[in-house]
Structures are given as structure tokens and as C-alpha cells.
Amino acid sequence: MEIVNIDAELFEKMLSAFERFITRMETLCRLHAGKEAGEWLDNQDVCLLLSISQRTLQTLRDNGALGFSKISRKVYYKPEDVEKIIPLVDYLRKAAVKKGKQI
């Protein structure tokens, strides 16, 4: 058995990242619970799933990073399109944190 020591600050960062991951997975499971494959997500679903603001979601639509469909002034997203941009959102979140901001 090997014992590894890590700095308390690093441990807290790792724990925080893991908790964010758990929250995202729980949200994803809640969103897809009882839904059939192919159901679309609305703005609130996507913001909760990705832990982003409405404004960030608008920016993702505006710059073409996230495809969407508009029906009667309401915007919908395919779940698979949302899942594809998770790495981009993680990158944007890290960049924002470095600048002392949130997305």
C-alpha cells in the first residue's frame, strides 16, 4: 500500500471539481428520466444541464457552437448537440475562472 500526500488547496480543488461533475450528472439523469430518445431540450433544461447563464447560452447559439430550432418563439435543442458542447463549455468555464468571471 502506498500513501500519497497532497496539498490541502489541491485537494479542495479536486473535491470541488468532482462535486460539480456529480451535480452535472445528477442534472443530466433528471432531465432524461422518463424522456424518450429524441426529445428536445428547452433553454432552462440546457442552462441547468451545463450550469451556464441564459446569456452564455445565447452566445453559444449566436456563434454557431450549438444548433437549435425555433418554434413559435421558443428555442429547442437536441440532447446530442448539447452533449457535444460539454467540453467547449468546460473550456470556457476554465478561461472565465482565470479572469475572475463566471459563465
The arithmetic mean of pLDDT across residues 5-20, rounded, is 91
Give all strands (DSSP E) within 2-89, no chain letters: 41-42, 69-71, 74-77
Assess whether pLDDT exceeds 90 at residue 84.
yes
Higher pLDDT, 63 or 39: 63
Query: Which among 34, 37, 31, 46 is positioned nearest to 76, based on CA atoms?
Result: 46
Q: How far is CA 84 from the centre of its chain?
A: 10
Assess whether pLDDT exceeds 90 at residue 69.
yes
Q: How far is CA 74 from the centre of its chain?
A: 20
The arithmetic mean of pLDDT across residues 84-93, rounded, is 92
- Looking at domain 8-98, its CATH architecture is Orthogonal Bundle (1.10)
Per-domain residue ranges of the chain: 8-98
